[in-house]
Amino acid sequence: MTDRRPILKRWLRRTVIVGSLGLLTSIAVAWGLATSIPNPPNIAETESCFVRWDRAWHTLEWRRTGNAHYGWVEVRAETEYWTVDRLLAHYRDRIKMSPEHWRDSPPGWGTMAQPTQPHTGTAIDSAAGWPMLCLWDQYRRVHNGDQLINLDFHGSWLISGGPSPNRGDFVALPLRPLWLGLSANAAFYGALWSLAIFGPGTIRRTIRRRRGRCLACGYNLQANLAPGCPECGWNRSTPPPGA
């Protein structure tokens, strides 16, 4: 009976290698994209107004290839007359966004997708990654009156820049994972690494098999591969003489 343990060990080793490389590449690509997040335009691509944690929220969302960010703010009532439902209805009528740019549900990632509600009423979430968003962070502008004095970062590493209302004036690397995107990106880049590392060897062995040669050293076996190779000992339980 053929011992399959060496084959399983080899495939396990390859899976670990390409999986690790795929994960590291996903993070590197996301960080590279995060360093070039542009300033959002004046008009949001998508607006949302919805209820979450029994609180009314309004979001403005922008997306670019490999980047996305949305600002969120709690819609608060000034009097008891304004129930959450009345407040949302009034807010939607006031905004009057076109249907293709409007939705009644929160974004599927970031703060609004977390199980616990935020302690603050407004912030901005940013995410990066390709082909899917895979890392995100949050930052909140801290004001003293009308003057911006600081940026409060959560889940990111600020590497350059300082307090600014423009996202393009500072660089922060996101650290919070979006698990679906990170897994998909790791699999995608892992497959590319697998082709680059193991593809040439697989092609070489296929050609040698068709030509009846040893898969390991290319020795001509006259298409009789079953006994193994007397030259290098491939497919033999004992090494060849003189090995």
Residue ranges per domain, the chain? Answer: 28-183
Contact between residue 204 and residue 216 where contact means Cβ atoms under 8 Å apart? no
Q: Are 171 and 6 in contact (CB under 8 A)?
A: no
Q: DSSP class of residue 182?
A: H
Torsion angle, alpha carbons of 87, 108, 112, 167, to 10: -100
Span 205-231, pLDDT tens digits: 888 888 888 888 888 877 788 888 888
- The model's confidence at residue 91, banded by pLDDT at 50, 70 and 90, is low
Q: What is the pTM of this model?
A: 0.78
Cα–Cα distance list, 147 to 89, 142, 143, 144 (Å): 32, 9, 5, 5
Q: Which of 54-63, 96-105, 173-182 has the lowest mean pLDDT?
A: 96-105
Q: Report whether 133 contacts 177 (CB < 8 A).
A: no
pLDDT at 90: 66
Cβ proximity of 84 and 55 under 8 Å: yes
Top-confidence range, 45-54, 71-80, 173-182, 204-213? 173-182
Q: CA-CA distance, 141 to 148, in Å (whole number)?
A: 7
State how far the Cα of 210 lies from the Cα of 212, in Å rounded to an integer.
Answer: 6
